[in-house]
A and B are shown apart, each in its own frame.
Chain A
């Protein structure tokens, strides 16, 4: 008799007789040793044999059916209501991105985890994981100047796409903490380490309401956490926002009065112009984002709607006119709605901006608003510098 032929293969248990006479079992296909399997099976107790074959098979079949039915039911539900795939229900919270002000209890923070603490002569840097949504832990950098009890706080939020690398750059940390300020660094939703377990077609702009709405909530939750630490002056809070980080800074300051100073660099906004012309948008996708339904969905997150409300904060908007992410028309529209006391500085080119902002000078303005130097020299008007136009001059 040939052994191991295809006709004799059958699902069963591989039973191995050990040297001590006991029997161990492996699941799989018996190939070529049916006689040995049958002899071993005869030694087993009748009930044990029944359990190992019939009942177990029945359980497996039942479980398979249960999983299949659940999957079918879930798929049908998602088809009926596709928004649930990535919406609040998916996150397991009651969070509503369209409501920028975060009500109590909507997000429940877990205990923050200290990942790392570094000591440097000028500052300390803590990497803390904070979390208030399922599957969305946030790497939060708390960088404190040495020798200052409760320093004023400035949040730093850079544009999509970005990572947290800069917050691990020691010279950067020295610049942002210079003059006794704490710096808080993180990235927005759907950005850097916070972009995971998503279909590739979903990205920051395609999911703009979620990206902006949840990031505005994050800012409020981060401020809540910072207030619990007791080692920061939460009466002096500023926020530096670049690109989409600037947009989030505007929206956050509009709903959270703890933010006293807002320093914006090329904030995104004026969605109809931005979506139509921004170089960030792949041409193949652009038509999706200029549709009225999409623009209607994101209208509530347009800084153009919110900037006029920032009347109680110090606001500066810096715009680099050769920046291709935010088109010129959008920049002009944003300018047109800035609050009366806001300072708007336009640079004709990145080259001119470099002259004004390099070496950490970009961070000085926000610091001066939060803690003005005691003997402050008269500020040079931007318009006096070659190539720099001061569109409006505010408190300076």
Chain B
């Protein structure tokens, strides 16, 4: 009898322990563990910060997380800013690690997939309020436990994965100083880190694949899905704090617009003076400084293939850059006018350096978002490109608007919706073939937020135009509007057409408008 009671008690106790243990283990579910473009850092944090999404507790930290690509111990950890959002019962958690878009693609598409690493020293630390309008709390142990070493379930890119792979391979390929089909940061599969001129930040190119087998482990890649989120312009902006010369960018009458050819020549180091960008005669010769992004960044590649490396211009931002030479990496090359080209390694670094008067008459670029430019609205202005405004129907001085959320209608994106502004791209979220429910919900939340609260991009379904796709990275192009023909191929710098034109052409010929580049 005693034995029976003991056995029963032991069984019940074991069941209780198991149930308790299971409950503890399953308590905090990771809905979204994203990695990728820094430009989407704020947008997705704001979308996640909701009772109906991830929760209303946020913790952010500069350089607070790492992406661990476990395919080789030689691959360095990719360090970046992080936000984590969770709900109060600690049942849901979301996180985003901000790094380069191409590196994000590499970490997600690596086989086996990369994981998030958070230093345990950050448990209990106060956050750094990196997302405008949101107030941080401290990082709880349970949230850390759920996320640390968790596999990424989404990559946030500002291009198709085909474009990201093309960019990676171009970076890793041997330097081609004539056509720049290779940029010389290889050899692969693990290349030379691209360094910031302004900080210790760096990004390492590492080979990956989008189909077939992984180039490092040889493991077979599973299928994936790229979900279109929305379109965003890349903005050319200048520092306006230097005064005293009519050749300074503060001369707003002279510096309102830059056409694609002068812009290309500024970016590739050919132009040495600010006045080379203006059609106003008689300006003083002021050195022109340019801050580029690294060629693994989506911002670099969207601009690269839209303007300097377009079919029409045929140049590159990397003209004359040899990573093996002095001044090549980190980039610091002077131009004929005494100005320079340097490199920033994130959106926030790009914005803060262009916003610094210490950098003189400096020109840079990054994607539009209310958060991106919030800190430099008084020190910078944006320029039109080819006479087209990226944010409004017409130009009104190039002042960045500020948003006290919600701020629907703050910008109209008129020339993105109609496709006339030349530098824009569609944000994509790459996931497993079957999009996880938590990720899908967050994408919809981000689109809703962009439409109704914080206009950081144009939701994809509001676009009337598309960029013609082209064969790239082994994928045959498809624009994605025809039933039964999933979107495929690259589209950075693709020629812009109305969606209806693609549908009409397909109706007549059973062919899509593919292979056209601007």
Q: Are A350 and B513 in contact (CB under 8 A)?
A: yes
Of the listed stretches A68-76, A158-166, A229-237, A269-277, chain B binds: A158-166
> Roughly how many angstroms separate A279 CA and B516 CA in the complex, as a whole number?
21
Q: Are A324 and B476 in contact (CB under 8 A)?
A: yes
Given A354-B505, A358-B505, check contact A323 B510 (CB 8 Å). no
Q: Point out the residues of chain A lying under 8 angstroms from B484, CB to CB.
A: 161
Q: Are B513 and A279 in contact (CB under 8 A)?
A: no
| Cβ distance B310 to chain A, nearest Cβ, rounded Å | 14
- Among B484, B501, B505, B508, the one with the most A-chain Cβ atoms within 10 Å of its Cβ is B508
Q: Are B513 and A158 in contact (CB under 8 A)?
A: no
In the complex, whether B509 has a CB less than 8 A from a CB of chain A is: yes
Q: Point out the residues of chain B lying under 8 angstroms from A350, CB to CB.
A: 511-515
Q: Are A172 and B507 in contact (CB under 8 A)?
A: yes
> Roughly how many angstroms separate A324 CA and B474 CA in the complex, as a whole number?
12
Q: Mark B488-518, 1 if CB is under 8 A from A, else 0.
A: 0000000000000100110111111111100
Q: Point out the residues of chain B lying under 8 angstroms from A349, CB to CB.
A: 515
> Which residue of B is nearest A363, CB measured?
B508
> Roughly how many angstroms separate A172 CA and B515 CA in the complex, as a whole number?
24
| Cβ distance B56 to chain A, nearest Cβ, rounded Å | 46
Q: Are B515 and A322 in contact (CB under 8 A)?
A: yes
Q: Are A166 and B505 in contact (CB under 8 A)?
A: no
Chain B at the A interface: mostly helix, strand, loop or mixed?
loop
Q: Are B510 and A243 in contact (CB under 8 A)?
A: yes
In the complex, whether B270 has a CB less than 8 A from a CB of chain A is: no
> Roughly how many angstroms separate A161 CA and B506 CA in the complex, as a whole number?
13
In the complex, whether A264 has a CB less than 8 A from a CB of chain B is: no
> Which residue of B is nearest A349, CB measured?
B515
Q: Are B510 and A162 in contact (CB under 8 A)?
A: yes
| Cβ distance A324 to chain B, nearest Cβ, rounded Å | 5
Q: Are B511 and A320 in contact (CB under 8 A)?
A: yes
Q: Are A354 and B513 in contact (CB under 8 A)?
A: yes
- Among A175, A323, A358, the one with the most B-chain Cβ atoms within 10 Å of its Cβ is A358
Q: Mark A137-172, 1 if CB is under 8 A from B, else 0.
A: 000000000000000000000110111001001011
> Roughly how many angstroms separate A360 CA and B504 CA in the complex, as a whole number?
9
In the complex, whether A351 has a CB less than 8 A from a CB of chain B is: yes
> Which residue of B is nearest A159, CB measured?
B510
Q: Are B476 and A362 in contact (CB under 8 A)?
A: no
Q: Are A175 and B508 in contact (CB under 8 A)?
A: yes
Q: Are B513 and A362 in contact (CB under 8 A)?
A: no
| Cβ distance A78 to chain B, nearest Cβ, rounded Å | 32
| Cβ distance B195 to chain A, nearest Cβ, rounded Å | 39
Q: Point out the residues of chain A lying under 8 angstroms from B514, CB to CB.
A: 350-351
| Cβ distance B263 to chain A, nearest Cβ, rounded Å | 25
Q: Mark B180-204, 1 if CB is under 8 A from A, else 0.
A: 0000000000000000000000000
> Roughly how many angstroms separate A360 CA and B501 CA in the complex, as a whole number?
11
Partner of A166, one of B476, B501, B507, B512: B507
Interface set, chain B 420-476, CB cutoff 8 A to A: 468, 471, 476
Given A158-B510, A279-B476, check contact A358 B515 (CB 8 Å). no
Interface set, chain A 293-336, CB cutoff 8 A to B: 320, 322-324
Given A324-B476, A362-B509, check contact A171 B515 (CB 8 Å). no
> Which residue of B is nearest A161, CB measured?
B484
Interface set, chain A 330-384, CB cutoff 8 A to B: 349-351, 353-354, 357-360, 362-363
| Cβ distance A75 to chain B, nearest Cβ, rounded Å | 35
> Which residue of B is nearest A243, CB measured?
B510
Q: Point out the residues of chain B lying under 8 angstroms from A351, CB to CB.
A: 468, 513-516
Q: Mark A162-195, 1 if CB is under 8 A from B, else 0.
A: 1100100101100100000000000000000000
Q: Are B476 and A265 in contact (CB under 8 A)?
A: no
Q: Point out the residues of chain A lying under 8 angstroms from B513, CB to CB.
A: 350-351, 354
> Roughly how many angstroms separate A169 CA and B505 CA in the complex, as a whole number?
12
In the complex, whether A218 has a CB less than 8 A from a CB of chain B is: no
Q: Are A358 and B501 in contact (CB under 8 A)?
A: yes
Q: Are B509 and A265 in contact (CB under 8 A)?
A: yes
> Which residue of A is nearest B497, CB measured?
A354
Q: Mark B219-238, 1 if CB is under 8 A from A, else 0.
A: 00000000000000000000
| Cβ distance A356 to chain B, nearest Cβ, rounded Å | 10
Q: Point out the residues of chain B lying under 8 angstroms from A95, CB to CB.
A: none
Q: Point out the residues of chain B lying under 8 angstroms from A158, CB to CB.
A: 510
In the complex, whether A242 has a CB less than 8 A from a CB of chain B is: yes
Q: Point out the residues of chain A lying under 8 angstroms from B509, CB to CB.
A: 242, 265, 353, 357, 362
Q: Point out the residues of chain B lying under 8 angstroms from A171, CB to CB.
A: 504, 507
Q: Are A242 and B510 in contact (CB under 8 A)?
A: yes
Q: Are A354 and B507 in contact (CB under 8 A)?
A: no
> Roughly how many angstroms separate A162 CA and B506 CA in the complex, as a whole number?
11
Given A322-B471, A351-B515, A354-B513, check contact A172 B508 (CB 8 Å). yes
Q: Point out the residues of chain B lying under 8 angstroms from A320, CB to CB.
A: 511
> Roughly how many angstroms separate A354 CA and B511 CA in the complex, as a whole number?
9
> Roughly how many angstroms separate A350 CA and B512 CA in the complex, as a whole number?
8
> Roughly how many angstroms separate A322 CA and B468 CA in the complex, as a whole number?
15
Q: Point out the residues of chain B lying under 8 angstroms from A163, CB to CB.
A: 483
> Roughly how many angstroms separate A357 CA and B507 CA in the complex, as a whole number?
12
> Roughly how many angstroms separate A239 CA and B299 CA in the complex, as a whole number?
49
Q: Point out the residues of chain A lying under 8 angstroms from B515, CB to CB.
A: 322, 349-351
Q: Are B510 and A360 in contact (CB under 8 A)?
A: no
Q: Point out the residues of chain A lying under 8 angstroms from B483, CB to CB.
A: 163
> Roughly how many angstroms separate A214 CA and B256 CA in the complex, as a whole number?
66
> Roughly how many angstroms separate A77 CA and B418 CA in the complex, as a whole number?
64
Q: Point out the residues of chain A lying under 8 angstroms from B505, CB to CB.
A: 354, 357-358
| Cβ distance A96 to chain B, nearest Cβ, rounded Å | 30
> Roughly how many angstroms separate A360 CA and B509 CA in the complex, as a whole number?
9
Given A161-B484, A350-B515, check contact A169 B510 (CB 8 Å). no
Q: Are B476 and A360 in contact (CB under 8 A)?
A: no
> Roughly how many angstroms separate A324 CA and B515 CA in the complex, as a whole number?
13
Q: Mark B234-265, 1 if CB is under 8 A from A, else 0.
A: 00000000000000000000000000000000
> Roughly how many angstroms separate A159 CA and B506 CA in the complex, as a whole number?
12
Q: Mark B354-385, 1 if CB is under 8 A from A, else 0.
A: 00000000000000000000000000000000
Q: Point out the residues of chain A lying under 8 angstroms from B471, CB to CB.
A: 322
> Please, could you name 12 A-B residue pairs with CB atoms under 8 Å apart, sorted by A?
A169-B507, A175-B508, A242-B510, A243-B510, A320-B511, A323-B511, A351-B516, A354-B513, A357-B509, A359-B504, A360-B508, A363-B508
Q: Ordered nearest first, which 5 A-B pairs have the shortest CB separation?
A: A166-B507, A351-B515, A351-B516, A172-B507, A350-B515
- 17 A-B pairs besides A351-B513, A358-B504 with CB distance below 8 A are A161-B484, A162-B510, A163-B483, A166-B508, A171-B504, A171-B507, A172-B504, A172-B507, A175-B508, A242-B510, A349-B515, A350-B515, A354-B513, A357-B509, A358-B501, A358-B508, A362-B509
Question: Which residues of A are in contact with B by a Cβ distance under 8 Å?
Answer: 158-159, 161-163, 166, 169, 171-172, 175, 242-243, 265, 279, 320, 322-324, 349-351, 353-354, 357-360, 362-363
